[in-house]
Structure 1
Amino acid sequence: MPEHAGPGTTSTVVAATPQRAVDVVVVGAGPAGSAAALEVARAGHSVVLLERGPYPGSKNVYGGVVYGRVLDELVPRWWEQMPVQRWVTRRSTMIMTPTQALTVDFRTQAWAGPPYNGATAHRSDLDGWLAGLAEKEGAVLVPSTVATGLLRDTAGAIVGVRTDRPDGDLTAKVVIACDGVNSFLAKEAGMFAGKPTGHVTLGVKETLRLPRSVIDERFGVAGQDGVDIEILGCTRGIPGGGFVYTNLDSLSVGVVVDPHGLAGKRLRPEELVADLKRHPAIEPLVRGGELLEYSAHLIPEGGYDTMPELVGDGFLVAGDAAAMCLAAGIWLEGVNFALGAGMYAGRAAVDALKVGDTSKTGLASYRRMLDESFVLADHRKLRRVPGLVLGQRMQESYPAMLCDLAQGLFHVDNPQPKPGLLKLVRRTLKRHGIRTRDVVSDALTGVRSFG
């Protein structure tokens, strides 16, 4: 067996003829890892799926929206199998101040049946289901196991992972790193060299139990219809936003914020969640909810420009490990990008194994598939949006300005005549210290990004 690296080293050099070998090792049994393992196993190759938790989803505290259309390619008629809480048929975008809220609310029954758009789901259920699909195809799931580092051959190519298991390390022709935000394996492989770091946000969430009938009545839904509310202006000026999602008999309520901004204001994240639950637009929805869970998780929201290199000799990176989380204001997505990237990583590994070339060149089809799909196309298109959405004007000035503008439009001040829209806009901009040129600049950035 190979010797472990000593203190201060980053990888282990192994003998040319390993004693324990499989075709592919996938590290992390989240959506990206399970999708990759599923593709490799279907092609008849040996694949081990390592998971540091006692079971897939055990360490995930996500209760949010999953966009499942990418599963059309991966799991035929997935909607008949996937463990869904509710299908999202109502999508609301809310901007608020401490005493005001302005909401754009959209609902459609077109999303209540195939082809579905989004669904609320618990990650503990979703991850277990996906990993189970991979196991049925022949993947070997190894839980309670940490990949502590990489194995390399004498030429420097990655040929496996070190583990914390007593039976030693695991060698493979391809390693696919799906080990989550701040991926230690991707960093050890040098995939982040020259890339900006620190572009993460902190997501905090409470799960509140409420009777299903109460949720249906308060949110105006029935059956398995559900609601997704995304919120801006609820984080005391700290870059970020909030959310409320309906599950069958619970609500997911929380915020996603810049941890540096949080520290700078000396606030704890649960204070922001408490603020949100007390807001007059939210309190009637969550009133009487019993706290079931409080959780926190780092989210890679830096976008395209913060992604690592995705392909190396014997090595691929996918999902959160590759910063594939889209935070673009009206689009807040992650699981679908992880599923797509994992699926393409698995296919690239199969292609490389077929021709016997698992070098960076042999695995290059991964990057080509990502470039030709929504995974990188959407991230490239929206690469400027995270900076726009998390900027001061979008976080503080615009929510307050738009709420005041709406209040001015709807306020009846007889016997005074109505001021007229243009005058009201100018007056509101001046009150909030917003320059017209800043509005034009932000609008152009938005048009270039979303257009």
Structure 2
Amino acid sequence: MPTTPDAAFDIVVVGAGPAGSAAALEAARAGKRVALLERGPYPGAKNVYGGVVYGRILDELVPRWWDRMPVQRWVTRRSTMMLTPTQALTVDFRTEDWGRPPYNGATVHRADLDGWLAGLAQEAGAVLVPSTTATGLLRGPDGAVTGVRTDRPGGDLTARVVIACDGVNSFLAKEAGLFDRVPGTQAQHTSLGVKEVLALPREAIEERFGLTGRHGQDIEIIGCTGGIPGGGFLYTGLDTVSVGVVLSVTGLAASGTRPEEVLAGLKSHSAIAPLLRGGEVKEYSAHLIPEGGHDTMPELATDGLLVAGDAAAMCLAAGIWLEGVNYALGAGMYAGRAAAAAVTAGDTTKAGLAGYRRALEDSFVLADLRKLRQVPELVFSDRVQRTYPGLLCDLAQDFFTVDNPRPKPGLRRLVTARARARGLKLRHLLSDALTGARSFG
């Protein structure tokens, strides 16, 4: 087994995030010589995510993963919150079923998660090459990818297949021309996530969020970004709370607003501030997120190269579903298997790597992204971002306001009056309802 970064490998995986580590794990399990490159000094060193990982894909990748994965809390309470500057309406669901194996989702810290996943790949035989950046692709006389250049002197790595898991704005996928057919600019399809991790006593978290033991809550928030397309989130860790906003890059630039100002506004909202009171900021971070959906994904393969995870825009931003890590894990797993099979077959051309696309087509990864391809545009529309949260909050306030001696108003009359006041026409409601029905039906 090679142990030096200048050795030849069967497969080089670039990026030790969830997609990359899953790819390296599966390829190494297949008996291939695998190098796993990581830009940071160790996997997770540069990652700032504190959110939810959903476990069903892990059932296949790491049996009984819940006995091994570094979990903060098991998510047993899932909430969607709609805000106006002075109102909040929350749909809140909790279940005991998610608090026992096989579990549904868990809050994690990426530094812990990435290190664990990369460790599994190493245990399977992959060689971790940290503090190394892939600066470009190596190509053979026929133009096929044959490895990667790195920023180490004399540290180029040759391979039969390269798997690019180098994150959003993947330079390797761009160099290979895989994004050439994606419409629009990348900025139009990208959001900026800004997050703070606040330390709070475990007892305070459990009291404020109504939790016990290792149970946790995931809150997704709409209407909290001050007119900039996006949303917010709040996740409970064991003794930390992660709070943040996700903002359209183009919308943020046009607004002239600093992202930390938007986050400060969310933290000070009357529905959020009591939950965070007394929290000590332990981490502030920002990260680009590919949220354009299926129609902004690049080609997934070319001769000698596969692309997976955020590098392939495999993030589901569908309002009630905001998921990325599980799609990265699935895509990485299938990429590792397809690359290993192609090496075994002696055909690492685009045709020889076509098993990757077939596996994705047969899985939730492309099925979900294709089915919900219209939802990102709907979610980022002005009506969903501003009109509907205000309308629903107004209706809730009207409905629960006791205005004796007047009789209680009918719901139809309230909806008509509030929709008219917000300039919402029937055709808008029908159009959005039809898009939602087609996507979620």
TM-score range, shorter chain: over 0.9
Q: Counterpart in 2 of 1:368? A: 358
Which amino acid in the other structure matches residue 62 of structure 2?
A: V
Q: Counterpart in 1 of 2:375? A: 385
Structure 2 stretches of 5 or more lacking a match?
Answer: 1-5
> SS at 1:70's partner residue?
helix
Q: Counterpart in 1 of 2:255? A: 265
How far apart, in 2, do the equivalents of 1:394 and 1:405 lie?
Answer: 16
Q: Counterpart in 2 of 1:64? A: 51
- Aligned-residue CA RMSD in angstroms? 0.8
- Indicate whether 1:182 and 2:169 are aligned: yes
TM-superposition CA deviations, 1:39-63 (whole Å, max 9, x none): 1111111000000100001110000
- Indicate whether 1:332 and 2:319 are aligned: no
- Indicate whether 1:420 and 2:407 are aligned: no
> SS at 2:56's partner residue?
coil
Q: TM-score, normalised by structure 1?
A: 0.95
Matching of residues 117-132 of structure 1 within 5 Å: 117-132=104-119
Q: Counterpart in 1 of 2:337? A: 347
- Indicate whether 1:282 and 2:275 are aligned: no
Instruction: Identify which of 92, 104, 110 aligns with 2:97.
Output: 110
Q: Alpha-carbon deviation of 1:109?
A: 0.5
Which amino acid in the other structure matches residue 268 of structure 2?
A: R
Which amino acid in the other structure matches residue 156 of structure 2?
A: D
How far apart, in 2, do the equivalents of 1:238 and 1:54 lie?
Answer: 35
Matching of residues 31-430 of structure 1 within 5 Å: 31-196=18-183, 197-198=185-186, 199-430=189-420
Which amino acid in the other structure matches residue 400 of structure 2?
A: F
How far apart, in 2, do the equivalents of 1:115 and 1:185 lie?
Answer: 37
Which amino acid in the other structure matches residue 18 of structure 2?
A: P
More displaced stretch, 260-269 vs 105-114: 260-269
How far apart, in 2, do the equivalents of 1:315 and 1:55 lie?
Answer: 24
How far apart, in 2, do the equivalents of 1:282 and 1:32 lie?
Answer: 33
Q: Counterpart in 2 of 1:22? A: 9
Which amino acid in the other structure matches residue 338 of structure 2?
A: A
Work out the number of aligned pairs and report it: 433
Q: Alpha-carbon deviation of 1:167?
A: 3.0
How far apart, in 2, do the equivalents of 1:165 and 1:244 lie?
Answer: 39
> SS at 1:145's partner residue?
coil
Q: Counterpart in 2 of 1:442? A: 432
Which amino acid in the other structure matches residue 148 of structure 1?
A: T
How far apart, in 2, do the equivalents of 1:124 and 1:313 lie?
Answer: 33
How far apart, in 2, do the equivalents of 1:74 and 1:241 lie?
Answer: 31
Q: Alpha-carbon deviation of 1:168?
A: 2.5
More displaced stretch, 262-271 vs 226-235: 262-271
Structure 1 stretches of 5 or more lacking a match?
Answer: 1-18
Which amino acid in the other structure matches residue 19 of structure 2?
A: A
Q: Alpha-carbon deviation of 1:20?
A: 4.0
Q: Counterpart in 1 of 2:3? A: none
TM-superposition CA deviations, 1:326-354 (whole Å, max 9, x none): 00000000000000000000000111111
How far apart, in 2, do the equivalents of 1:417 and 1:395 lie?
Answer: 33
TM-superposition CA deviations, 1:165-201 (whole Å, max 9, x none): 1233111000000000010000000001121232100
How far apart, in 1, do the equivalents of 2:44 and 2:382 lie?
Answer: 35
TM-superposition CA deviations, 1:195-215 (whole Å, max 9, x none): 123210000000000000000
How far apart, in 2, do the equivalents of 1:248 and 1:21 lie?
Answer: 43
Identity %: 73
How far apart, in 2, do the equivalents of 1:110 and 1:390 lie?
Answer: 32
Which amino acid in the other structure matches residue 220 of structure 1?
A: G
TM-superposition CA deviations, 1:372-396 (whole Å, max 9, x none): 0000000000000000000000001
How far apart, in 2, do the equivalents of 1:95 and 1:411 lie?
Answer: 19
Q: TM-score, normalised by structure 2?
A: 0.97
Superposition misfits of 4+ residues, deviation over 2 angstroms: none
TM-superposition CA deviations, 1:367-417 (whole Å, max 9, x none): 000000000000000000000000000001111111001111001111222
Q: Alpha-carbon deviation of 1:418?
A: 1.7
Which amino acid in the other structure matches residue 358 of structure 2?
A: R
How far apart, in 1, do the equivalents of 2:158 and 2:79 lie?
Answer: 48
How far apart, in 1, do the equivalents of 2:249 and 2:332 lie?
Answer: 28
> SS at 2:306's partner residue?
strand
Which amino acid in the other structure matches residue 161 of structure 2?
A: V
